[in-house]
Structure 1
Amino acid sequence: MTIVILGIDLGKNSCSVVGVDATGRVVTRRAMRRQTLIDYVAKLPVCVVAMEACCGAHHLGRLFAAQGHEVRLMSPEYVRPYIKAQKNDDRDAEGIAEAASRPTMRFVDLKSQEQLDLQTLHRVRSRLVAERTNLINQLRAILLERGVIFPVGRRKLELGVDGMLAEGIERLSPRVHQLVGELRAEWKLLDAKIGALNTEFIQLARNNAAMRRLTSIPGIGVLNATALVAAVGDASSFAKARDLGAWLGLVPRQYSTGGKARLLGISKRGNTYLRTLLIHGARAALPSLSTTDTPLGRWLNAMIERGVHRNAVVVALANKLARIAWATLRKEAGFDRGYPVAG
């Protein structure tokens, strides 16, 4: 029995394993716990170990790669078509092994421990920002029900609530006044945690050459630079700059048939968090870039003069920034404002 490809369906506690030989025939099916799986793979001759790119896959992938195995991680959506009949863990493992044998399959690069740590910091910050937004919305609703209205904007609400708590207001009962104070204290705690993470991102960007080069690109700040390095590393897994934009879902969806091409809105595939950061960065950089006499500025002005919707211009700029980021990471060079920009 020679296992050529080992398909593993990862679970929190138990993992399903299917091994296939050179002809694609299933030669082993097993279910085992994670530590048992690690010991089992360590005893196998060198083979291909295939998994879906999900939680815990990168950690196990590094362990198996250190043992000499070839690790192939795949997006779950690419594995789904290879799962036969009813879905269960055993069928999933068999589908993973089958998908890994396809020559046209796209694989996910293993992330280093540093990339995973950076990605974790971003996820924690994103959760804290969402909690703060929810808290602010709830605080506005509580005050609105009592006829207390503040202007739009987080800073204006912050100043208004602080003044209200200091002076007191008759329309609030003592209990609600106390509750608003507690919510404001929670808000300050979230601000402190988010600020600490922002400071950490700034320090990380200063100490990393790739991140410093990325921040030289207009519209890409510390958050974008650190998130890009965490997600794509040196971008070596993308053969062309367009591939990075497509992976981020910044290119049009295509529905073509009969030789007739039909392009729709952007696909919104891939890393939603990173795509959102790039679009926000492009929106912030658009006013200043469109006034510059540079290739990028002239390209933006040409779209604006054609009457392209502002949101479409922002997304096009975000896609352009992703392409420039790819070139910066691959060529290890900073952004050149005078470099020609392709349409």
Structure 2
Amino acid sequence: MNKHNILFIGLDTHKEFVEVAYIEDQRGAQAVHFGRISSAKTAIVKLAKQFQSKYPQATLHFVYEAGPCGYWIYRLLTSLGHCCYVVAPSLIPKKPGDKIKTDKRDALKLAKLLKTEDLTPIYVPEPEDEAVRDLSRARETAMKDLKDAKYQLKALLLRNNINYAGTANWSAKHLRWLTELVLPHPAQQIALQEYLHTINERIARLKRLDNELAHQVQAWRYYPVVKAVQAMRGVRLLVATGLIAELGDIRRFDHPRKLMAYVGLVPREHSTGDKRRIGAITKCGNGRARRLLIEGAHSYRYPANISTDLQLRQEGLPKTVVDKAWQAQLRLCRRYQRLMHKGKHYNVVVTAIAREMIAYIWAIAKQVVLIDVNPKHRLARVPA
């Protein structure tokens, strides 16, 4: 194919319709508004056939913004043999003086920017990976709903000046104490019972999702990576599954600094001339993966140690993975104490530890390859 045998097609996707524009790969070519089509799969297939019949010698390159509609258009077009790119809305160049935004303009802009190579495609997960990610996010939502229900119940007790004398909230003893409470008004008693009922339902829901996630991840193609990164301190099954589900194959990054920047754990910088200004972290990329790393980084405030639980997680792993995890624990525990002695804020220290954690996780993932053995998976060393 020569340079002029490419047709760039911009899609502005919505729930009910898709706005379409295209531009030929020729010098001086102008973007053309094709029109609006339905967002049904049959309409997308018909659109691709129309462009193929009109430009039989051209390769079709589609592009659209990532959004709530997911990746089904990408998977449909690639299954038909066409090139398709999904771009993040935050990475699309925008002129400061352009104050008019319409669906037609968005489609034209996407087509022109794809032609000039000013768009950066994002990583699109496989359907299996997205399914595990949805299950992991459902578990996180269940945890948030349970916390919200507990806060609402505690607020009711606080308004009535009822305090628990024990030390462990939400233990079996605490739950029994809650069931024995009698509030002064019958309406309040009904509210208390409904809150308790909601909490019990959400606890059961969380347990179901935990069991299902632990079961489904064992048949996942990234289970060897999930199992390997659990050799790290502060990275148990739920954290490891959520992290890998959000990031996908983290070995696609050729350097750990790129992965640090991808999860938004690198500092902002605004430097010019002789002045170099470093600010807070960028918080770009996947916020859920960043939060999971921050959660795991808190465990490094204690001295380096191989606990019984960590030893069980490391059983059956290659020696190189276990050695790398121990090296990470020694370094991160020392770094945590050193930064705290320097007087750094606790949140700054934890963020610094999380930034280095993702580098060690990247190093461990590089030592793991995925081998399909009838649909099962196992660990293996990367050949030197």
Same fold (TM over 0.5): yes
Where in structure 2 are the equivalents of 1:1-343 lying within 5 Å? 4-23=7-26, 25-35=30-40, 36-45=43-52, 46-79=59-92, 81=94, 84-103=98-117, 105-150=119-164, 155-156=169-170, 159-166=173-180, 168-169=181-182, 171-207=183-219, 208-289=223-304, 294-332=330-368
Instruction: Give the letter aligned to residue 111 of structure 1.
Output: P
Q: Is the 8 A contact 1:7 1:51 kept in 2?
A: yes
Q: Measure how far apart 1:146 and its partner are.
A: 1.4
For residues 234-268 of structure 1, the C-alpha deviation after alignment (integer angstroms, 9 at most, x for no partner) is: 12443321111111111111122224221111111
Residue 112 of structure 1 and its aligned partner are, at CA, apart by: 0.7
Could you tell me which runs of 5 or more consecutive residues in structure 2 were left unpaired when the two chains were aligned. 53-58, 307-325, 370-384
Q: Deviations over 1:133-192 (max 9, x none)?
A: 2221211111211121237988347743532423x43x4322221221121111111111
TM-score after normalising by structure 1: 0.86
* Distance 1:147-1:136 versus aligned 2 partners, 3 A rule: same
Cα separation, partners in 2 of 1:120 and 1:309, compared to 1, 3 Å: same
Deviation per CA, 1:204-244, whole angstroms, max 9, x where unpaired?
44441111012112222222221222222212443321111
Distance 1:160 1:57, change over 3 A: closer
Greater CA drift, 155-164 or 85-94: 155-164
Amino acid at match of 2:85: R
SS in 2 for 1:256: strand
> What is the aligned residue count?
331
Query: Partners in 2 of 1:278 and 1:133 — Cα distance?
Result: 20
Give the counterpart letter for 1:189 in structure 2: E
8 A contact 2:259–2:359 mirrored in 1: yes
Cα separation, partners in 2 of 1:106 and 1:331, compared to 1, 3 Å: farther
Q: Distance in 1 between matches of 2:185 and 2:331?
A: 60
* TM value normalised by structure 2: 0.78
Flag structure 1 segments of 5+ consecutive residues without an equivalent. Answer: 334-343
Distance 1:3 1:245 in 2: 35
Cα root mean square deviation, aligned: 2.7
Identity %: 23
Describe the SS at the equivalent of 1:261: strand
> How many angstroms apart in 2 are the aligned matches of 1:153 and 1:29?
67
Distance 2:231 2:95 in 1: 43
Distance 2:31 2:50 in 1: 19
